[in-house]
């Protein structure tokens, strides 16, 4: 007799990090008035670049429903690599990038973890160092791939900023050739990123300790409003020759959540290695999905390769980041000036990206859900993209109530 697993009893149930009917059957039953979770970048305004690309695609004679190659659309992989590594990238010029199209960022993380589990020469146990805290799915993805999740200090609750010394200490203390996962920009859930100077110091220690870097880049553009600035760490590390891989998602920055558009790139030492990595990736991809989905990738090829659409996309990202920043300022003003809410709130304006790590605990988070129908994860993370001029006062008022 088969028994269905009780979702509550599942060890990773507590990690589920979004209140969405698709995530949790329990939450689906609740009436959701305000869902503080990711909204489209420029949903209400434009997204002309997306609509235009869709029109071009649908009107094109070449549109079809054929399989893509196993590693994905070569033009998509090349444009995606250019976006993250930069048009001037020496790794691209020297053909040292092995790319594969993936099922969005999650698929890239999974395939990257599986690849390391099979082929990386771990010095001791198969372990990956994850930031404390990190995206709730990271530990589960690595565990499933047979890699034990370990942690490095990242967020300092006292300063609600980066625990830079803790991070450096962990890099130095880990065995040589350890694998460290870094969020390339707009860290989820904290919204705390190292400065460029701090990244340079991290890179120096990583190089010295011969560590491997697993970059997860799910929010390129959301940190600063600029694709290039948000790719700083990845490009800096790649230029230093640090062995690394990059997981790339177009879910958030291109508003293509449901299309599952992503890529996994390995920056390696020479083009001979590219062939070897790609041949292994092909085998792994084949047993799992065979061929990645074509529609979203075709849209992204048009958007990334057409200068006008690309420009519009960049503008929308900036508009959206500015909007979130305005929400941060207003929330800060409401809490500190109007409501005089007890506690420190300066992190609201210091953090970047679409999330805000409030620093409130599970008790207060649950209370917000119960009394106000404001949905956030239990670790106190809200998505600022869900705030607008109509609901921000309501949110601030209730946040004030639950912390008093
Ligand atoms: N990495 C991080 C850090 C994320 O926050 C997310 C989305 N929550 C992902 C990867 C994966 O997103 P997707 O599979 O939708 O691209």
- The SS3 of residue 93 is helix
**Please, which residues bridge with residue 267 across strands?**
97, 244
Distance CA 202, CA 181 (A): 12
| Residue range 35-62, pLDDT digits in tens | 333 343 444 555 788 889 999 998 988 7
Atom number, ligand 1, closest to the C-alpha of residue 106: 14
Q: Decide: 106 in ligand 1 pocket, CB within 6 A.
A: yes
* Residues 6+ positions from 115 with CB-CB distance below 8 Å: 245, 266, 277, 280, 281, 284
CA of 304 to the centre of ligand 1 (A): 20
| Residue range 338-365, pLDDT digits in tens | 999 998 888 888 888 777 777 788 888 8
199 a catalytic residue = no
What distances in angstroms separate CA 28 from CA 16, 257, 366, one per listed residue?
13, 19, 16
pLDDT band at 69 (very low <50, low <70, confident <90, very high): very high
Distance CA 7, CA 10 (A): 5
Tell me, what's the ipTM? 0.99
| Residue range 152-185, pLDDT digits in tens | 999 998 888 999 999 999 999 999 999 999 999 9
What tokens appear for 234 in the block?
A: 């990845």
The pLDDT of residue 18 is: 41
Q: Name the closest-CA residue to atom 6, ligand 1.
A: 218
| Residue range 159-168, pLDDT digits in tens | 889 999 999 9
Distance CA 301, CA 371 (A): 45
What tokens appear for 117 in the block?
A: 């589990």
Atom number, ligand 1, closest to the C-alpha of residue 189: 5
Q: Decide: 259 in ligand 1 pocket, CB within 6 A.
A: no
Question: Does residue 71 contact residue 77 with C-beta atoms inside 8 Å?
Answer: yes
Q: Decide: 296 in ligand 1 pocket, CB within 6 A.
A: no
Of the candidates 121, 216, 202, the residue with the CA atom closest to the CA atom of residue 168: 202
The pLDDT of residue 397 is: 93
**Please, which residues bridge with residue 169 across strands?**
none
Tell me the three-class secondary structure of 104-125, residue by residue.
HHHHHHHHHHHHHHHHCCCCCC
Q: Decide: 262 in ligand 1 pocket, CB within 6 A.
A: yes
Q: Name the closest-CA residue to atom 1, ligand 1.
A: 218
**Candidate list 163, 193, 252, 345, residue with the active-site label:** 252
Mind giving me the DSSP string for 293-311?
A: -SHHHHHHHHHHHSHHHHH
Distance CA 215, CA 246 (A): 5
Lowest average pLDDT, out of 111-115, 336-340, 366-370, goes to 366-370
Distance CA 126, CA 128 (A): 7
**Candidate list 216, 230, 313, 345, residue with the active-site label:** 216
pTM of this structure: 0.88
The pLDDT of residue 334 is: 95
Q: Decide: 249 in ligand 1 pocket, CB within 6 A.
A: yes
The pLDDT of residue 6 is: 40
- The SS3 of residue 266 is strand
CA of 262 to the centre of ligand 1 (A): 10
Mean pLDDT value of segment 114-122: 96
CA of 55 to the centre of ligand 1 (A): 27
Question: Does residue 318 contact residue 226 with C-beta atoms inside 8 Å?
Answer: yes
Asked whether the predicted pLDDT for residue 31 surpasses 50, the reply is no
270 a catalytic residue = no
């Amino acid at each position: 007799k088969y028994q269905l697993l009780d979702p509550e009893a599942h060890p990773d149930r507590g990690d589920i990090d979004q209140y969405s009917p698709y995530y949790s059957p329990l939450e689906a039953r609740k009436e959701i008035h305000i869902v503080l979770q990711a909204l489209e970048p420029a949903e209400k305004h434009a997204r002309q670049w997306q609509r235009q690309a869709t029109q071009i695609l649908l009107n094109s004679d070449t549109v079809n429903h054929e399989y893509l190659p196993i590693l994905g659309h070569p033009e998509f992989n090349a444009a995606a690599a250019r976006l993250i590594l930069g048009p001037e990238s020496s790794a691209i010029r020297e053909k040292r990038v092995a790319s594969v199209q993936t099922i969005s960022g999650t698929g890239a993380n999974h395939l990257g973890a599986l690849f390391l589990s099979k082929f990386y020469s771990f010095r001791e146990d198969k372990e990956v160092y994850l930031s404390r805290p990190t995206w709730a799915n990271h530990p589960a993805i690595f565990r499933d791939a047979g890699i034990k999740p370990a942690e490095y200090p990242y967020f300092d609750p006292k300063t609600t900023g980066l625990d830079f010394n803790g991070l450096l200490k962990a890099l130095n203390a880990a065995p040589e050739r350890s694998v460290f996962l870094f969020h390339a920009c707009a860290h989820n859930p904290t919204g705390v990123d190292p400065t460029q100077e701090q990244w340079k110091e991290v890179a120096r220690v990583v190089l010295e300790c011969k560590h491997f870097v697993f970059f997860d880049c799910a929010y390129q553009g959301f940190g600063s409003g600029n694709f290039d600035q948000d790719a700083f760490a990845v490009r800096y590390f790649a230029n230093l020759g640090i062995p690394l891989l990059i997981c790339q998602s177009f879910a958030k920055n291109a508003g293509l959540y449901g299309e599952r558009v992503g890529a996994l790139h390995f920056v390696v030492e020479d083009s001979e290695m590219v062939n070897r990595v790609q041949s292994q990736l092909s085998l792994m991809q084949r047993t799992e999905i065979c061929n990645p989905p074509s529609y979203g990738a075709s849209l992204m090829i048009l958007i990334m390769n057409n200068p006008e659409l690309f420009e519009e996309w960049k503008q929308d990202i900036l508009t959206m980041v500015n909007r979130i920043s305005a929400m941060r300022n207003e929330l800060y003003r409401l809490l500190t000036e109007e409501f005089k809410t007890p506690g420190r709130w300066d992190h609201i304006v210091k953090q970047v990206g679409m999330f805000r790590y409030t620093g409130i605990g599970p008790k207060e988070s649950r209370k917000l859900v119960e009394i106000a129908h404001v949905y956030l994860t239990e670790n106190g993370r809200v998505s600022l993209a869900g705030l607008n001029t109509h609901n921000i006062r309501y949110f601030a008022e209730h946040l004030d109530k639950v912390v008093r």
